Structure 1
Amino acid sequence: MSCPALIDFEASCLPEYGQSYPIEVAVARTDGSSRAWLIRPVDAWRYWDWSDEAEALHGISQQLLDDEGLPPAQVLAEMAAFVNGCPVYADADLDQYWLEVLCQGVGAGLPFPVHYLGEFLKERGYTRPQVVTALEEAKRRLPKEHLAREDAKRLALVVRLLLEGTV
């Protein structure tokens, strides 16, 4: 297993458009392994906001969540097991927020903190041109966006390319 792990959420809408809740989460490690989960909404979220614009981006409908989403407690347990002690990073602070909402939905504590990816890159001394080059290469290899499972894999690939020094 290779650390760190990268996390990405999709949500019912962006917070500036209302009270959002997590609908999909994915975690990818730099060794290429990844997991993704559709999240069945808890009853309290049924009255929160849903954005048709967000649905158009990620392609996840409320019906899909009802049909194929997993219970949030199961998602948290499986996600924590997959992370398995790796430090977890995200490219936006919203991912920490949605992890907190997910945990609050089932009355659970945070299984791990989510750190900002920019801090990881800065601590290791990567320059902006290095990061941009790695991101461009990762986008070339994994072009789909606004899907947690693809976004997390792309972020993990960026980190792997930088760690390997291949870009």
Structure 2
Amino acid sequence: MSCPTLIDFEASCLPEYGQSYPIEVAVARTDGSSRAWLIRPAEQWRYWDWSDEAEALHGISREMLEAEGLPPAQVLSEMAAFIEDCPVYADADLDQYWLEVLCQAVHAKLPFPVHYLGEFLREHGFTRPQVVAALEEAKRRLPKEHLAREDAKRLALAVKLLVDGEVS
């Protein structure tokens, strides 16, 4: 099973601290395949907010984005191609918001909806103890946090552990 796909963004700051924009996005499938992109800031984000606290968490600097980030349109296109027809889930509604901000920057429609991961877990009848156990095991195997590429892979692993019945 390679679907569903899990998505995670890192941003310039959390929305409660200002007008934030996406700086990294990652998508991971339950088969272990994943992709991650640094996002070069769009021109319209030039005066949006940046948080030193957020930078300290994810370790992505403005200089890194300028040097290594890809244009938003390219990120959006490559991400949509990787996802194909898989349903996309996130563990926070902020991921949908940052996808919308990314699309608005390039005047594009949303390429896919982002569903709340809790919906998937509920639809498949997983219990809270099962979910907690899967998340703990995934975190044990993939302990790095606050990096979109690691967070998406950890969520995909947790879903795989649940679907495969590897946690009880």
State TM-score, norm by structure 2. 0.99
The alignment status of 1:132 with 2:132, answered yes or no, reads yes
Which residue number in structure 2 is paired with residue 163 of structure 1?
Answer: 163
Which residue number in structure 2 is paired with residue 45 of structure 1?
Answer: 45
What secondary structure does 1:67 align onto?
A: helix
Structure 2 counterpart of 1:151, one-letter code: D
In the alignment, the residues of structure 1 paired with residue 62 and residue 96 of structure 2 have an alpha-carbon distance, to the nearest angstrom, of 22
Calculate the aligned-residue CA RMSD, in Å: 0.6
Structure 1 counterpart of 2:70, one-letter code: L
In the alignment, the residues of structure 2 paired with residue 145 and residue 46 of structure 1 have an alpha-carbon distance, to the nearest angstrom, of 27
What secondary structure does 2:126 align onto?
A: coil
What secondary structure does 1:41 align onto?
A: coil
Percent identity over paired residues: 85
Which residue number in structure 2 is paired with residue 36 of structure 1?
Answer: 36
Which residue number in structure 1 is paired with residue 88 of structure 2?
Answer: 88
The alignment status of 1:73 with 2:88, answered yes or no, reads no
Which runs of no fewer than 5 residues in structure 2 stay unpaired? Answer: none
Deviation string 1:79-133 (CA, Å, 9 cap, x unpaired) is 0000011000000000000000000001000010000000100011100000000
Which residue number in structure 1 is paired with residue 120 of structure 2?
Answer: 120
The runs of at least 4 consecutive aligned structure 1 residues that moved more than 2 Å come to: none
Offset at residue 70 of structure 1 (A):
0.1
Which residue number in structure 2 is paired with residue 153 of structure 1?
Answer: 153
Deviation string 1:135-162 (CA, Å, 9 cap, x unpaired) is 0000000000000000000000000000
Structure 1 counterpart of 2:43, one-letter code: D
The total of aligned residue pairs comes to: 167
Which residue number in structure 1 is paired with residue 21 of structure 2?
Answer: 21
Which runs of no fewer than 5 residues in structure 1 stay unpaired? Answer: none
Offset at residue 13 of structure 1 (A):
0.1
State TM-score, norm by structure 1. 0.99
What secondary structure does 1:24 align onto?
A: strand
In the alignment, the residues of structure 2 paired with residue 77 and residue 105 of structure 1 have an alpha-carbon distance, to the nearest angstrom, of 13
